[in-house]
């Protein structure tokens, strides 16, 4: 069973072909970073136009690289939301066109669900597991009980953690994209030099907050003044990253307690989304999992950040359950994972 996946919800134009044996036959990602860099963030209109310019060629390349003809496909899956709506439209319309021209099932995939199910593509992980989903737009802890079965344990009350990385990078003049730039700077920094807050740490439940931390970084940066050195910036980046790791580890510890109470199992803990690319955060979560007698499952870097292999895989999971989406599916700018079950979701074939 081969499925074509298409991802256009943010600033990556991506297409992939994945098969039912969990082989990624092709995984093509075109980053628009250079288009957005002058603006210090993703400009939705530029993103949509760029998807439009490039998607057809990217799809053709994914099919060619995987030696797949459209007739070999069992379905076409595209991110149906949440995301920047202009880009989502481009991917959804392309997938619908291919599907309707060739009589193939069309699947509108929730981008967050695709991140959530990636560990099953990479590690063949059985349900249930605890998921920490940390990206530029999303920041939540969930129990994943099955395809479409997501229980929200907690989420951010303000910024998503990736957003906090991006804003911190901007404050520190580290450029864009923020996450990798902060991680790079932090590598040579001393995390103990600045005493930054850990909002909500120790509090009951699994909610998170990062805006107070961001404000503290801004104040520390201001105090350093115009003459701040590379060393100062590196120390502040390291302190920020250490605070984030502490907050996430504390929230995950609470979530693991709840997961054990509900399922009787200590884990595993899965981390997904762009921030999962951060080595310091991975290490922190890995030791937390080990302390709790369970494991951390972290997909390889290229499958943590946005890609179309995860979209194709989510399509395979849905197809296996006999589901497909109607061709009048409307792209959804907002689409919480907790709305995946019930009415409005894929219909049985
Ligand atoms: O999942 P993703 O590619 O796109 C969204 O759906 O948001 O995540 C992008 C986010 C950005 O905020 C980026 O700064 C962050 O993930 N990120 C990182 C790292 N690499 C990407 N954050 C921290 N450390 C990194 N190495
Ligand atoms: Zn994402």
Q: Are residues 59 and 112 in the same domain?
A: yes
Give pLDDT tens digits for 331-348.
999 999 888 764 334 444
State the distance from the centre of ligand 1 to the C-alpha of 165, rounded, in angstroms.
Answer: 8
Q: Are residues 325 and 289 in the same domain?
A: no
Q: Please give the distance of CA 256 from its chain centroid, rounded to a whole number.
A: 20
- Given a contact cutoff of 8 angstroms between Cβ atoms, the answer to whether 50 and 90 are in contact is no
Q: Are residues 193 and 285 in the same domain?
A: yes
Count of structural domains within the chain: 2
- Given a contact cutoff of 8 angstroms between Cβ atoms, the answer to whether 165 and 148 are in contact is no
Q: What is the mean pLDDT of residues 68-77?
A: 98
How long, in residues, is the chain? 349
Q: Residue 175 pLDDT more than 90?
A: no
Q: Are residues 191 and 249 in the same domain?
A: yes
Residue 345 has what pLDDT?
A: 47
CATH number, domain containing residue 167: 3.30.420.40
Tell whether 122 is covered by a domain: no
Tell whether 121 is covered by a domain: no
Ligand 1 contact via 240 beta carbon (within 6 Å): no
State how far the Cα of 119 lies from the Cα of 295, in Å rounded to an integer.
Answer: 12
Tell whether 329 is covered by a domain: yes
Give the nearest ligand 1 atom to 166 CA.
Answer: 14
Q: Are residues 297 and 310 in the same domain?
A: no
Q: Residue 239 pLDDT more than 80?
A: yes
SS3 call for 265: coil
Tell whether 80 is covered by a domain: yes
- Given a contact cutoff of 8 angstroms between Cβ atoms, the answer to whether 26 and 62 are in contact is yes
Tell whether 111 is covered by a domain: yes
Tell whether 81 is covered by a domain: yes
DSSP 104: -
Q: What is the mean pLDDT of residues 243-261?
A: 98
Q: Are residues 197 and 263 in the same domain?
A: yes
Q: Are residues 293 and 321 in the same domain?
A: no
Give pLDDT tens digits for 125-151.
999 999 999 998 889 999 999 999 999
Q: Residue 230 pLDDT more than 80?
A: yes
Q: What is the mean pLDDT of residues 53-62?
A: 98
Going by alpha carbons, the residue nearest to atom 10 of ligand 1 is: 136
The range of the structural domain enclosing residue 70 comes to 2-116+305-348
Q: Are residues 288 and 330 in the same domain?
A: no
Tell whether 62 is covered by a domain: yes
Cis peptide bond prior to 82, omega within 30° of 0: yes
Residue 341 has what pLDDT?
A: 61
Ligand 1 contact via 165 beta carbon (within 6 Å): yes
Q: Are residues 236 and 293 in the same domain?
A: yes
**Quick one: which of 200, 81, 198 has its CA closest to 138?**
81
Give pLDDT tens digits for 6-25.
999 998 999 999 999 999 99
Going by alpha carbons, the residue nearest to atom 14 of ligand 1 is: 179
State how far the Cα of 104 lies from the Cα of 96, in Å rounded to an integer.
Answer: 9
SS3 call for 93: helix
SS3 call for 332: coil
Give the nearest ligand 1 atom to 163 CA.
Answer: 12
Q: Are residues 92 and 137 in the same domain?
A: no
């Amino acid at each position: 069973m081969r499925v074509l996946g298409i991802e256009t919800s943010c600033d990556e134009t991506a297409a992939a072909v994945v098969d039912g044996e969990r082989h990624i036959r092709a995984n093509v990602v075109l980053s628009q970073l250079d288009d957005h860099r002058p603006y210090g963030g993703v400009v939705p209109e530029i993103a949509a136009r760029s998807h439009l310019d490039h998607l057809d060629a990217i799809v053709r390349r994914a099919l060619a690289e995987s030696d797949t003809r459209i007739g070999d496909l069992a379905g076409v899956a595209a991110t149906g939301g949440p995301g920047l709506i202009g880009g989502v439209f481009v991917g959804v319309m392309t997938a619908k066109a291919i599907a309707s021209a060739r009589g193939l099932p069309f699947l509108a995939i929730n981008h967050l669900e695709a991140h959530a199910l990636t560990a099953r593509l990479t590690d063949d992980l059985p349900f249930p597991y605890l998921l920490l989903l940390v990206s530029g737009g999303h920041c939540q802890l969930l129990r994943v009980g099955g395809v479409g079965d997501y229980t929200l344990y907690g989420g951010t009350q303000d910024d998503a953690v990736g957003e906090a990385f991006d804003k911190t990078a901007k404050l520190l003049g580290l450029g864009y994209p923020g996450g990798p730039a902060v991680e790079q700077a932090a590598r040579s920094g001393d995390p103990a030099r600045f005493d930054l807050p850990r909002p909500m740490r120790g509090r009951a439940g699994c909610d998170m907050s990062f805006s107070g931390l961001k404000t503290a970084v801004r104040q520390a940066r201001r105090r350093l003044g115009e003459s701040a050195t590379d060393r100062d910036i590196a120390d502040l980046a390291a302190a920020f990253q250490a605070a984030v790791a502490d907050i996430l580890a504390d929230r995950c510890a609470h979530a693991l307690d709840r997961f054990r109470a509900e399922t009787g199992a200590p884990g595993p803990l899965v981390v997904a989304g762009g921030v999962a690319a951060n080595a310091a955060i991975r290490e922190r979560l890995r030791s937390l999992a080990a302390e709790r007698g369970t494991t951390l499952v972290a997909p390889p870097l290229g499958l943590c950040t946005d890609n179309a292999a995860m979209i194709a895989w989510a399509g395979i999971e849905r197809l296996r359950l006999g589901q497909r989406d109607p061709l009048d599916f409307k792209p959804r700018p907002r689409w919480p994972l907790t709305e995946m079950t019930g009415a409005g979701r894929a219909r049985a074939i």
